[in-house]
């Protein structure tokens, strides 16, 4: 009965990343400064009070910087100054270093290439079959839904040779969500130690990258960067499944880093 | 006395020396504690040599006139004649069983010698003497030529068992165990006495050969049944198996190996000898025996799988093996009734192979468990986890013995179980319908037993020998001495190597079974020099020697391929603690315990075991009755099994038995005139009977 | 009872007497929390009734750190008093089990919500949580905090003799984030952003509860179209949550096609939500005063989308409820007795499956629920199957509500979507019926800045019942019981 019903539906799975997917292209990432924006109208006072996580700062007259690692996608900046701020593309928001998350990027291309090469060297053996292990270090629950969504027939990561595993001893990639609650620091470290080399750690979500709106708090560490060494940073609150998939593929070296960090795509809609 | 007879006598003398050494010197001097057992080992070696000689066909006799003071009374032609006993002599059957029993007795004695020097050994004299008495009694039984010597040896063995199992009488439950052992020993002795007397009354002489000449009829059948019953009590057939777990578990240290590994073979020897002398019993008796054997096997392994004490697991496994061996014996009885020597050979061969495997494995298990108990200080399975770290040799011995009794290739237990199942499968060749049905049922029961044996012994290997140690154990790691290690190595080698050399073993057995079944029938089990078949051709084949070659070769091949494919990566090892989902920690057991592992078995076999489980709630205050869970231990769980024969057969008999005893106690008035009156009445009664008979 | 009654009780025993008298009858203990003030600790109890909540404050003067516990008289206060003890350091005398629940620490610098001082860092000390002891014959399987599968962190200590589970223990302190403390000092207007992230998969419910509280305090009334949009998103969130529960149950029983199909349905719901407001979880939709914009799909296409979704989901649910092997796993698994549900005041589907119904949409209507028609059925068996059936009925109800809300939206004109809210001073209570049960907020602000924002999610109230639903269930029933509860640990740990 179930099998027949399933067959009748046809193929629902996206063919991303081989072929473009319009939902993936439209998926919303963190806020970013628009490419040809006129930022001179923004005063320092405006910039300071605009973002609840202080992700927006003015590095000089007209030089607006957005720290995407702190953007919780509340949309206030986009609503208030739609001519300056817009949404970046979700599938291109993952980076290999924390400094890369500030827009415009501050890391030099040489350092970036080195990081990228190092990562690719480490994950040489992981090309065809990769196992993910997830640890919740104090998330709000939505990132777990988005990670689990990767298993549904629409995304179906099994077709890419990526699987979820229950034991960290079998895992290659560690997905960590959450702002780094102190109670989970030790379990997270133990999980990291339990994984065999080579391993890749992906900080999934703005909470994991920089603490999000939860930090500063007496109970969290402001992101997981202080607890385990992170290889891939993925902002978003929560990041869409396509964004998570792009971060995994970036961590495996299957997506080129260059070209990911273009300035935000055009406005929304 | 022949040369080998002198060797046999020397062996018996060495055993007597061992007993004397123990009684005279006691345990005060640490250096001499092992002496009785070393002497016992030497004596066992002599007896073993004599047995091997007898098996080879040499003459082994110790005439009665050379044994002091053993006088028998015989009735020949109506006159009472006093004569010396016929002495001791070993024919091939005796030689076979002497080899089996004393082949195990030597390593067990070595283990005993090593154990006696540890702190776990008891602090008073007498153990060595009891041990020597047991071994001496076994030798006498197996080489007895007449009924008197046989019974004398039997009663001595019962006495030795009582002394051994009651040695640590002050510990809880031991005196009751000793009493029950003694009781059942006397019961078997009484049955044997009755059987023998029935036969002697017709045969006119006490010698065993003469007993074979009794004409067939009701008397012979009754005597045969009585003898079979007596021997069955000794080996532990249902419903007489209740003394085995208690008696074996109550004995100290490797004495259990002597009782369960060496001495139990007298029961099997008696059964084999009965078949040789008197032939098969009536068909109904054979069927009942087969049914009882299957019940014994299933009951024994069911209990072995759920016990919480290591010694009891091993003791119940003895019950199970008794059932298996008697199943093989039953097939031989059916074959004898059908006059099919091939079927008889199949059954006897299966039974004897199982005896060999059981002797080696049981001795190994009990000797190793003594070492483990000394090292860990406890007998509870849940506290014995990881014992191979504390007692390496004993732990390994425990593992190998468990593998053998679980019937896993390539051990000897696998071969014997294969033979047994194959022998039972020959039931289609039998003509009698009742026999066929019973054989089929027995075959199913044996297969079920084999399955649960796997469960029972996996628990021992996985959760007792291996695993993370949960207790710190005794202060110093118990190092078994050289003798102990030698003993364990010899027994383990027996378990393993005998399997590889099964064709040789079959040839030896065929020589030994010559008094019972023609040699060519047993040798028919050898299809080619290295391939075995269940006596009947064209049915199935097995080659344990080939297994012994192929399994290591395959293992080596896998390792080599893995090394080649993964390069150096295969041998890089990182030692880390087990992954426990990053928990903050719990007290007590945090992974499967031996008790928990047996829980599904308790549930599945609830019909046989009459399992009763209960969740005990500790806290019953109103606040907690709301269900709010406190961190103090809130609930406990208890699960109990019942021995069905005890519960439903023996316990109801207690009250009438007590009444009878109270009645008899009235005769013990303590008054001299009453006792004189009793003697007078008894004398008058005997005179009346004798006068009446003539 | 009007919307919110504030009463200051004369003394703690008097208040406890009142609660103990009212709760066994028609009342229900909805919340019990503490606020640190200069003159001591203010304990607040919320009593649920038709139409609203009764809020009772009582002061524990400064210098006193003990008070008689409420739990021996009202069992539902069990975890609340433990949380108060953890965060504020006051000791309820007579509490049957006073051990750390959300924050095990010996440090003097406790969070003390309400005093405006933010401690820098408080590390939890797992050594203060008593090591779990088992009785004879049992052993413990520690499950967590890093559990198999993609789930939130909590540790379950499963005591078992080998197959059955006679007893279960929980440790929930691992993912404590200090949300309540984080609210303090935020602008009242911005608090909704944090409220959405208190329990990320119930963002809309939390946002509605928070906004209802501040709107009630400011005396603002939300325009009609805004209430309809709120209902729309709340019901979409309910759909997604219930589909997630069904997904986990099907996964646990190995129905691969059902798991895949319900995963697809849930994805469609999330995509629809994202299409309407830009965020897959409905974040940014509910703001104080109303909503920022209308849904981005016109009512016509929206109705079509809802209809298509309804047809597919209902057909699959019908097939699932006819799969005997699946239902067998749930029948008589994890039963919660009606008496216990009533005594505790179990919220949401858990309570409704055991015959206790107190749905906020019906008893204390908010947003547009008072004007829309919907059914809230109950069951009596209280086992996992009953909880699933209640959720199935909820799904049908949600679709009905979605259609009604869309129809009504089609008839509204170009009205204002957002009312003016004066958020300078006030205190009020706001509630919303999330997919898992009632979400309750008690918000106080002065000078436009939050001084105390209490969030109580249904997860915190309900999870304690997990101790009591294991009756002869075996280890393989555990995932079904956990999935049928359908709670979010982020709401438990705070």
Q: What is the per-residue pLDDT across B370-410, written as a single tens digit (0 to 9) for each?
A: 999 888 888 888 888 888 888 889 999 999 999 999 999 88
Q: pTM for this structure?
A: 0.85
Q: Mind spelling out the 3-state secondary structure of A121-187?
A: HHCHHHCCCEEEEEEECCCCCHHHHHHHHHHCCCCCHHHHCEEECCCHHHCCEEEEECCCEHHHHHH
Range scoring the smallest mean pLDDT among A142-146, B85-89, B281-285: B85-89
Sites in chain A below the pLDDT cut of 70: 104-107, 256-269
How would DSSP label each residue in C62-127? TT--EEE-STTT-GGGHHHHHHHHHHH--EEET-S----SS-----S----TTS----S-----GG
- Could you tell me which residue, C393 or B33, shows the higher pLDDT? C393
How many residues make up chain C in this entry?
Answer: 494
- As a whole number, mean pLDDT of residues B487-506 equals 93
Q: Which residues contact B475 (CB under 8 A, 6 or more apart)?
A: none
Nearest Cα of chain C lies from the Cα of A21 at a distance, in angstroms, of 14
At residue B79, the pLDDT reads: 57
With H, G, I as helix, E, B as strand and everything else as coil, classify residue C362: helix
Beta strands in B65-180 (DSSP E): 71-76, 79-84, 88-90
Checking if the pLDDT of B71 tops 60, the result is: no
Say what the ipTM of the complex is: 0.94
Chain C CB contacts of B604 below 8 Å = none
At residue C319, the pLDDT reads: 95
Identify the closest residue of chain A to C112 by CA–CA distance.
A218
Candidates A231, A223, A220; CA nearest to A253 is A231
Residue with tokens 């073979």: B265
Answer whether C259's CB lies under 8 Å from A5's CB: no
Checking if the pLDDT of B39 tops 60, the result is: yes
At C44, give phi and psi (nearest 5°).
Answer: -120, 130
Q: Across all residues in chain B, what is the average pLDDT?
A: 88
Q: Calculate Rg over the CA atoms of chain C.
A: 22
Q: Does A182 touch chain B (CB under 8 A)?
A: no
At residue C1, the pLDDT reads: 36
Nearest-angstrom CA–CA distance, C21 and C29:
12
At residue B589, the pLDDT reads: 75
Q: Dump pLDDT digits (tens) for A144-188.
A: 999 999 999 999 999 999 999 999 999 999 999 999 999 999 999
At residue B628, the pLDDT reads: 42
List chain B domain ranges: 281-565, 645-693
Domains identified in chain C and CATH numbers? 1-115 (3.30.460.80), 179-457 (1.10.645.10)
- As a whole number, mean pLDDT of residues B129-143 equals 95
At residue B619, the pLDDT reads: 61
Nearest Cα of chain A lies from the Cα of C1 at a distance, in angstroms, of 34
Query: Are the beta carbons of B576 and A168 separated by less than 8 Å?
Result: no
Answer whether A146's CB lies under 8 Å from A241's CB: yes
CA dihedral C4, C8, C11, C17 (to 10 degrees): -20
Q: How confident is the model at residue B82 (pLDDT cuts 50, 70, 90)?
A: low
- Could you tell me which residue, B271 or B390, shows the higher pLDDT? B271
Checking if the pLDDT of B519 tops 70, the result is: yes
Q: How far is CA B356 from CA B42, B99, C200, in A?
A: 21, 10, 69
Most B-contacting residue of C75, C136, C160 (CB-CB within 10 A), to test interface: C136
Nearest-angstrom CA–CA distance, C337 and B259:
57
List the chains bordering chain B where 3 or more Cβ pairs fall under 8 Å.
Answer: A, C
- As a whole number, mean pLDDT of residues B73-96 equals 70
Chain B CB contacts of A169 below 8 Å = 579
Q: How far is CA A10 from CA A6, A148, C314, C319, in A?
A: 7, 22, 19, 19
Task: Dig out the tokens for B407 from the structure.
Answer: 């019937």
The DSSP bridge pattern shows strands C167-171 and A130-136 to be: unpaired
Q: Does B668 touch chain C (CB under 8 A)?
A: no
List chain A domain ranges: 28-90, 98-251
Q: Which of A169, A186, A188 sits opposite B579 (nearest CB)?
A: A169
Identify the closest residue of chain B to A197 by CA–CA distance.
B574
Nearest Cα of chain C lies from the Cα of A59 at a distance, in angstroms, of 25
Candidates B298, B226, B573; CA nearest to B446 is B298
At residue B625, the pLDDT reads: 41
Q: Which of C97, C144, C468 sits opposite B583 (nearest CB)?
A: C144
The fold for domain A98-251 equals Rossmann fold (3.40.50)
Give the pLDDT of chain C (494 residues) as one tens digit per residue.
344 568 888 899 999 999 998 888 778 999 999 999 999 999 999 999 877 888 999 999 988 889 999 999 998 999 999 999 999 999 999 998 888 999 999 888 899 999 888 988 999 988 888 776 677 778 888 898 999 889 999 999 888 888 888 888 899 999 999 999 999 999 998 999 999 999 999 999 999 999 999 999 999 999 999 999 999 999 999 999 999 999 999 999 999 999 999 999 999 999 999 999 999 999 999 999 999 999 999 999 999 999 999 999 999 999 999 999 999 999 999 999 999 999 999 999 999 999 999 898 998 999 999 999 999 999 999 999 999 999 999 999 999 999 999 999 999 888 889 998 888 888 999 999 999 999 999 999 999 999 999 999 999 999 999 988 987 788 889 999 999 999 999 999 88
How would DSSP label each residue in C261-299? HHHHHHHHHHHHHHHHHS-TT-TTS-BTTB-SS--SS-H
At residue B42, the pLDDT reads: 95
Checking if the pLDDT of B356 tops 70, the result is: yes
Select A28-90's CATH number: 1.10.357, 1.10.3470, 1.20.1740, 3.30.70.
3.30.70
Query: Are the beta carbons of B637 and C155 separated by less than 8 Å?
Result: no
Nearest-angstrom CA–CA distance, C44 and B36:
83
Checking if the pLDDT of B566 tops 90, the result is: no
Q: Calculate Rg over the CA atoms of chain A.
A: 19
Task: Dig out the tokens for C130 from the structure.
Answer: 């008593």
Phi/psi region, residue C178 (left: phi>0; alpha: psi -120 to 50; beta: rest), is left
- As a whole number, mean pLDDT of residues B235-241 equals 92
At B29, give phi and psi (nearest 5°).
Answer: -95, 120
At A174, give phi and psi (nearest 5°).
Answer: -110, 120
Count other Cβ atoms within 10 Å, centred on residue C360.
23
Nearest-angstrom CA–CA distance, B130 and B37:
11
Q: Does C182 touch chain A (CB under 8 A)?
A: yes
Q: Does B597 touch chain C (CB under 8 A)?
A: yes
Most C-contacting residue of B580, B588, B616 (CB-CB within 10 A), to test interface: B588
Residue with tokens 């998350």: A101
Query: Are the beta carbons of C145 and A184 separated by less than 8 Å?
Result: yes
Q: Across all residues in chain C, what is the average pLDDT?
A: 91
Candidates C249, C245, C299, C302; CA nearest to C273 is C302
Q: If you average pLDDT over each of A25-39, B182-196, B648-662, which comes out highest? A: B182-196
């Amino acid at each position: 009965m179930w099998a027949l019903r399933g067959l009748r539906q046809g193929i629902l799975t996206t063919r991303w990343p081989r072929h473009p997917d319009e939902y993936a292209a439209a998926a919303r990432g963190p806020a970013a400064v628009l490419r040809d924006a006129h930022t001179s109208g923004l005063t320092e006072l405006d910039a300071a009070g605009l973002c609840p996580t202080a992700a927006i700062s003015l590095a000089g007259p007209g030089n607006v910087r957005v720290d995407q690692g702190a953007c919780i996608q509340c949309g206030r900046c986009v609503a208030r100054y739609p001519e300056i701020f817009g949404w970046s593309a979700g599938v291109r928001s993952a980076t290999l270093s924390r400094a890369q998350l500030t827009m415009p990027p501050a890391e030099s291309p040489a350092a970036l290439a080195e990081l990228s090469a190092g990562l690719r060297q480490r994950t040489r053996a992981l090309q065809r079959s990769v196992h993910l292990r997830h640890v919740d270090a104090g998330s709000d629950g939505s990132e777990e839904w988005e990670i689990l969504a990767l298993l549904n027939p629409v995304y179906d990561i099994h077709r890419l040779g990526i699987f979820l595993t229950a034991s960290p001893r079998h895992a290659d990639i560690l997905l960590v969500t959450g702002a780094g609650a102190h109670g989970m620091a030790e379990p997270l470290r133990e999980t990291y130690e339990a994984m065999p080399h080579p391993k890749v750690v992906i900080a999934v979500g703005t909470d994991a990258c920089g603490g999000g709106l939860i930090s500063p708090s007496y109970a969290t560490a402001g992101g997981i960067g202080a607890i385990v060494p992170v290889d891939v940073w993925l902002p978003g609150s929560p990041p869409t499944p396509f964004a998570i998939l792009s971060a995994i593929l970036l961590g495996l070296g299957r997506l080129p880093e260059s070209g990911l960090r273009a300035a935000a795509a055009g406005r929304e809609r | 006395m022949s040369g080998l007879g002198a060797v046999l006598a020397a062996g018996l003398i060495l055993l007597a020396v061992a007993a004397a050494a123990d009684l005279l010197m006691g345990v005060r001097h640490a250096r001499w504690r092992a002496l009785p057992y070393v002497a016992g080992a030497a004596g066992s070696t002599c007896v073993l040599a004599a047995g091997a000689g007898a098996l080879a066909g040499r003459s082994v006799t110790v005439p009665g006139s050379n044994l002091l003071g053993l006088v028998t009374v015989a009735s020949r032609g109506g006159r009472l004649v006093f004569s010396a006993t016929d002495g001791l002599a070993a024919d091939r059957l005796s030689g076979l069983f002497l080899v089996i029993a004393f082949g195990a007795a030597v390593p067990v004695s070595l283990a005993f010698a090593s154990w006696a020097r540890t702190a776990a050994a008891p602090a008073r004299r007498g153990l060595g003497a009891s041990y020597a008495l047991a071994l001496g009694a076994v030798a006498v039984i197996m080489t007895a030529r007449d009924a008197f010597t046989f019974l004398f040896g039997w009663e001595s063995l019962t006495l030795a068992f009582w002394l051994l199992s009651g040695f640590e009488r002050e510990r809880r439950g031991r005196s009751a165990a000793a009493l029950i052992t003694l009781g059942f020993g006397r019961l078997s002795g009484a049955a044997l006495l009755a059987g023998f007397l029935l036969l002697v009354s017709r045969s006119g002489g006490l010698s065993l050969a003469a007993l074979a000449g009794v004409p067939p009829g009701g008397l012979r059948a009754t005597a045969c049944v009585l003898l079979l019953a007596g021997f069955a009590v000794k080996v532990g057939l249902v419903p007489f198996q209740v003394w085995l777990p208690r008696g074996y578990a109550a004995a100290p240290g490797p004495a259990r190996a002597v009782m369960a590994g060496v001495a139990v073979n007298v029961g099997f020897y008696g059964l084999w000898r009965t078949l040789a002398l008197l032939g098969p019993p009536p068909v109904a008796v054979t069927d009942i025996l087969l049914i009882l054997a299957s019940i014994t096997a299933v009951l024994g392994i069911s209990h072995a799988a759920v016990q919480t004490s290591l010694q009891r697991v091993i003791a119940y496994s003895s019950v199970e093996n008794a059932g298996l061996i008697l199943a093989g014996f039953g097939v031989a009885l059916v074959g004898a009734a059908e006059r099919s020597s091939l079927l008889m050979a199949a059954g006897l061969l299966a039974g004897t192979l199982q005896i060999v495997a059981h002797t080696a494995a049981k001795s190994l298990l009990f000797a190793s468990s003594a070492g483990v108990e000394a090292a860990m200080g406890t007998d509870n399975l849940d506290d014995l986890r990881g014992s191979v770290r504390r007692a390496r040799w004993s732990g390994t011995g425990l593992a190998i013995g468990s593998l053998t009794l679980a019937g896993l290739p390539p051990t000897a237990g696998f071969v014997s179980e294969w033979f047994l199942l194959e022998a039972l499968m020959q039931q289609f060749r039998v003509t009698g319908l009742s026999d066929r049905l019973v054989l089929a049922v027995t075959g199913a029961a044996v297969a079920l037993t084999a399955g649960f044996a796997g469960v029972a012994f996996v628990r021992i290997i996985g959760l007792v020998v291996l695993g993370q140690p949960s207790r710190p154990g005794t202060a110093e790691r118990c190092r078994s001495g050289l003798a102990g290690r030698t003993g364990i190595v010899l027994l383990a080698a027996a378990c393993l190597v005998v399997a590889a050399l099964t064709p040789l073993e079959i040839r030896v057995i065929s020589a030994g079974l010559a008094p019972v079944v023609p040699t060519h029938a047993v040798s028919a089990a050898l299809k080619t020099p290295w391939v075995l078949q269940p006596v009947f051709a064209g049915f199935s084949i097995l080659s344990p020697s080939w297994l012994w070659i192929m399994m290591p070769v395959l293992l080596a091949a896998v390792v080599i391929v893995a090394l080649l494919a993964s390069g150096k990566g295969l041998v890089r090892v990182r030692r880390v603690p087990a992954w426990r989902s990053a928990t903050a920690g719990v007290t007590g057991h945090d992974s499967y315990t031996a008790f928990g592992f047996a829980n599904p078995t308790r549930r599945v076999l609830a019909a046989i075991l009459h399992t009763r489980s209960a969740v005990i709630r500790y806290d019953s205050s109103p606040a907690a009755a709301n269900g709010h869970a406190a961190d103090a231990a809130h609930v406990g769980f208890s699960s109990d099994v019942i021995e069905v024969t005890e519960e439903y057969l023996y316990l109801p008999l207690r009250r009438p038995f007590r009444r009878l005893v109270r009645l008899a106690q009235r005769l013990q008035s303590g008054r001299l005139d009453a006792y004189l009156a009793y003697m007078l009445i008894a004398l008058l009664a005997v005179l009346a009977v004798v006068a009446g008979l003539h | 009872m009007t919307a919110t009654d504030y009463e200051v009780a004369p003394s703690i025993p008097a208040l406890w007497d009142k609660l103990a008298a009212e709760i066994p009858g028609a009342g229900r203990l909805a919340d019990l929390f503490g606020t640190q003030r200069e003159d001591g600790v203010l304990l607040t109890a919320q009593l649920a009734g038709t139409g609203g909540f009764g809020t009772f404050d009582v002061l524990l003067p400064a210098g006193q750190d003990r008070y008689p516990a409420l739990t021996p008289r009202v069992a539902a206060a069990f975890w609340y008093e433990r949380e108060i003890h953890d965060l504020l350091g006051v000791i309820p005398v007579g509490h049957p089990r006073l051990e750390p629940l959300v924050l095990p620490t010996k440090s003097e610098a406790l969070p003390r919500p309400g005093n405006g001082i933010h401690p820098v860092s408080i590390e939890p000390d797992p050594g203060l949580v008593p090591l779990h002891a088992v009785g004879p014959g049992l052993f413990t399987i520690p499950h967590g905090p890093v559990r198999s599968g993609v789930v939130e962190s909590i540790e379950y200590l499963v005591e078992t003799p080998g197959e059955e589970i006679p007893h279960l223990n929980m440790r929930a302190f691992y993912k404590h984030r200090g949300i309540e403390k984080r609210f303090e000092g935020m602008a009242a207007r911005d608090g909704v952003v944090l409220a959405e992230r208190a329990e990320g998969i119930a963002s809309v419910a939390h946002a509605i509860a928070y906004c209802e509280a501040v709107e009630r305090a400011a005396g603002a009334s939300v325009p009609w179209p805004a209430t309809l949009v709120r209902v729309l998103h709340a019901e979409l969130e309910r759909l997604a949550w219930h589909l997630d529960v069904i997904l986990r149950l099907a996964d646990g029983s190995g129905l691969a096609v059902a798991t895949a199909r319900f995963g697809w349905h849930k994805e469609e719901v999330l995509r629809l939500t994202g299409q309407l407001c830009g965020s897959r979880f409905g974040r940014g939709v509910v703001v104080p005063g109303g909503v920022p914009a209308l849904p981005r799909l016109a009512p016509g296409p929206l109705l079509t989308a809802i209809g298509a979704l309804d047809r597919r989901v209902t057909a699959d649910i019908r097939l699932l409820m006819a799969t005997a092997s699946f239902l067998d796993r749930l029948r008589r698994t994890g039963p919660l007795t009606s008496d216990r549900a009533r005594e505790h005041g179990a919220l949401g589907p858990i309570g409704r499956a055991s015959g206790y119904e107190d749905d906020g949409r019906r008893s204390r209507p908010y947003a547009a629920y008072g004007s829309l028609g919907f059914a809230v059925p109950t069951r009596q068996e209280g086992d996992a199957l009953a909880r699933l059936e209640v959720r199935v009925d909820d799904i049908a109800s949600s679709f009905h509500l979605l259609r009604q809300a869309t129809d009504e939206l089609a008839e509204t004109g170009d009205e204002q979507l957002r009312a003016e809210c004066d958020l300078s001073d006030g205190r009020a209570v706001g509630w919303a019926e999330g997919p898992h049960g009632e979400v309750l907020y008690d918000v106080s602000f002065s000078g436009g800045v939050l001084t105390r924002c209490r969030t109580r999610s249904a997860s915190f109230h309900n999870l304690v019942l997990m101790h009591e639903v294991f009756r002869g269930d075996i280890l393989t029933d555990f995932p079904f019981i956990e999935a049928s509860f359908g709670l979010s640990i982020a709401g438990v740990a705070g």
